[in-house]
Structure 1
Amino acid sequence: MAGRHTAARFEYDIRKNLTPNDIADMFNDYAEDYEQEYLNIGLRSHIVVGDFMAKVVPVEDRSRVRVLDVGAGTGLLGNELKSLGFTHIDALDPAEKMLEVSRRRDIYQRLICAFMNKNRNDDIDTDYYDYIVASAAFNEGLVPCEAFQEMIRVVKPGGRITFTVPTKFINNSDDLRNRLRPLIDQLAREGVWEVTSVALEDGELSYTHGPGVMFSLKVLVSETIL
């Protein structure tokens, strides 16, 4: 059925009452329109993450490192990384039709249709990826704070988890508002990772998302339990 949960795209209070399957359905139903809709509001989070990856990964290493794009959607971030010389990129997203759109771009070596949460995904080996990236994925109903447990497992010690999140997304989500920064700081104190955070001004992520932050978490352990 077309337009399932349409109102929840930008109404975060509605999203709070949706199941994970509802969220996937919502994105499936506007997979073909998603990219244009967000580019029309000047979405740049994929460029912000791409620019940071270009700074931390030398050109000569980009064709060999393994990258997992979490909440890959239609492949905006993957396409940005590909243009920078990254070639071993996998996509993870819970919306199959979003992944079908990304498949047309011939960006990703592997498409994994799944949510990123605390549950172990046995299709991904421990310490497999050098980098995990995400843009516009930390949002109500998408990537929760508990997902750090699984991200830490699948990224190699010494690798990074890099993502952007608008301040309004943090404020609109009970999970992100209450847990994101405290959990990042707690795991830093425990020696799980080293934290780089970059404040982003209004307009750096999009015309409408307001200010935000980019986190890059250098993982120091193989696994942890949250």
Structure 2
Amino acid sequence: MSNKFLDKAYDLETPEATLKHYNQWAASYDAEIAENGYATPGRIADALAQVQSDLREPILDFGCGTGLSGLALRRQGFEIIDGMEPSDEMLSQARSKEAYRSLIRIDVTDSAPIPNGSYRLITGCGVLGTGAAPPSVFDLILHALPRGGLFVFSYNDHTLSDPDYTQKVNEWLDCSAARLLFREHGDHLPGIGLKSTVYVIEKI
């Protein structure tokens, strides 16, 4: 299978271009990234399980895409997962997996799509990064979390090479507004030699 969508995913420059790309990719997304050994959803679910013992506490899967991250959380034993995603076509694919309690379409221009304090656990699998959500979305998510809330997310190698993303994490850690509970670099898409770092951040 030609990576006609994957090889363009990291060069998208506007929210509108990103939304169009993922709407077009939705039908073949799972097959294309499975062919490349997509590992990050399972790694995020495992990282959350290491710090969260209550498997019935609701989780928000922000930028849930086709629902592969929701399935990974289910496999880890988590029972209540809600998804948020801007792409209608991706949401359609996620809905078919029946991994979510609810799925919510969000507007990419909405500066506060998550009601403050509505979730203590938020995951973001491959959401923040070049060709995807900008660094400001990190602030959006952390502001929505209550104190003691956890954000479990990934930065792929493209994103790790962009200081705007890593600096955003450090801003929260350096001023003691959050603390790092977990960080691990490992496989992301081994089929194209791409790795990612999975983080667990606790809001203080």
Whether 1:47 aligns to 2:37 is no
The answer as to 2:26 corresponding to 1:26 is no
Structure with the larger RCO, 1 or 2 (CA within 8 Å, 6+ apart): 2
Distance 1:196 1:181, change over 3 A: farther
CA contact (8 A) 2:130 2:158 kept: no
The offset of 1:118, in angstroms, is 7.6
Q: Could you tell me how far apart the structure 2 residues matched to 1:28 and 1:117 are?
A: 17
Is residue 10 from structure 1 mapped to residue 3 from structure 2 by the alignment? no
CA distance in 2, matches of 1:106, 1:12: 26
Q: Is residue 213 of structure 1 aligned with residue 197 of structure 2?
A: yes
The structure with more radius of gyration:
1
What's 2:173 paired with? 188
Please say if 1:77 is aligned against 2:69. Answer: yes
1:184-226 CA-partner distances (Å, limit 9, x unpaired): 122112221002352324xx22212433311111011xxxxxx
1:37 aligns with 2:35: no
The structure-2 alpha-carbon separation of the partners of 1:43 and 1:213, relative to structure 1 and needing over 3 Å to count, comes to: same
Q: How many equivalent pairs are there?
A: 201
- Measured against aligned partners, the alpha-carbon deviations of 1:94-141 in whole angstroms (never above 9, x if no partner) come to 1111011111111112212225678122xx321111111111222223
Aligned to 1:135: 125
Asked if 2 retains the 8 angstrom alpha-carbon contact of 1:96 and 1:113, the reply is yes
Q: How far did residue 158 of structure 1 move?
A: 0.5
* Letter aligned with residue 39 of structure 2: R
Structure 1, unmatched stretches of 5+, are 1-5, 172-176, 221-226
CA pair 32-166 structure 1, distance change in 2 beyond 3 A: same
Identity %: 20
Partner in structure 1 of residue 55 of structure 2: 62
CA change 1:83–1:212 in 2 (3 A) is closer
The answer as to whether partners of 2:129 and 2:158 remain within 8 angstroms in 1 is: no
1:96 and 2:88 equivalent? yes
Query: 2 CA distance for matches of 1:205 and 1:12?
Result: 14
Distance 1:179 1:9, change over 3 A: same
Counterpart CA distance in 1 for 2:184 and 2:61 is 22
Q: Do 1:45 and 1:164's aligned partners in 2 also have CA atoms closer than 8 Å?
A: yes
CA RMSD of aligned residues (A): 2.2
> How far off its partner does 1:9 sit?
4.3
Once the two structures are TM-superposed, the CA of residue 179 in structure 1 deviates from its matched residue by: 1.6
The corresponding residue for 1:161 is 151
Is contact 2:61-2:124 (8 Å) kept?
Answer: yes
Normalization by structure 1: what TM-score? 0.80
Query: If the length of structure 2 is used for normalisation, what is the TM-score?
Result: 0.88
SS at match of 1:211: strand
Instruction: Tell me how far apart the structure 1 counterparts of residues 11 and 4 of structure 2 sit (CA, whole Å).
Output: 8
Distance in 1, Cα, partners of 2:10 & 2:170: 27
CA contact (8 A) 1:129 1:155 kept: yes
